[in-house]
Amino acid sequence: MRLMFAACAAALAASPALADYWSYKDWHVATEPHETEQDSYLTCRAWTGGDGDPLLALEVFSGDAGPPARYPMAKVQEYAPRHYPTLMQQGGTVDFIFDFDRTFSFAAGINSWISEEGLAEAESALRFQDHLPMLQAMKQGRWVEIWAGTDMFYEASLSGFTAAYGKMMDECGFDLALPAG
């Protein structure tokens, strides 16, 4: 997983299309411009983790509908080393459990696949109605545990999340504020 994160970080740093990169405590934000004959837009990403750990990430596109009609989906992304499976398996669920209330959690389905490079990858998929409440919980919390079945496989820091979310949304031209939960 360290190799995958290092490769992604090197690609981001070396990419001539990368516009900007920021860090806010444990969170990072990057924007990437896209130009086509018909359109020009930005992809804006915020994430924590990597360097061998899964990523807890958000992504928006400047051409999409944004808040309050549609909020970005928080998802956990896992990249396994070559010849190893991901901990998140197709058809399973992950649970996001927050520090401020251990009874408050979200469940998300898992999609997993083998990449073109032959590496196992997986990501979670929250239900649409959980997007905004998940973001509000992330704003309120200090950390979130991510469980696959009975195994906690990642504890994501939320230190810097609110600033990273605001920067990501601002860069893609959306309202910065998350409504109170």
CATH, residue 144:
2.60.40.1880
Backbone angles phi, psi at 106, to 5 degrees: -130, 145
Residue-wise pLDDT for 99-121, tens only, equals 998 888 999 999 999 999 999 99
Banded model confidence at residue 177, pLDDT cuts 50, 70, 90: low
135 lies in some domain? yes
181 lies in some domain? no
Q: Which domain holds residue 65?
A: 2-171
The pTM score is: 0.84
Residue-wise pLDDT for 125-163, tens only, equals 999 999 999 999 999 999 999 999 899 999 999 999 999
Q: Domain count of the chain?
A: 1
Q: How many CA atoms lie within 13 A of 113 on its CB side?
A: 7
CA separation for the pair 41, 89 (Å, rounded): 33
51 lies in some domain? yes
Say if residues 99 and 143 touch (Cβ distance below 8 Å).
yes
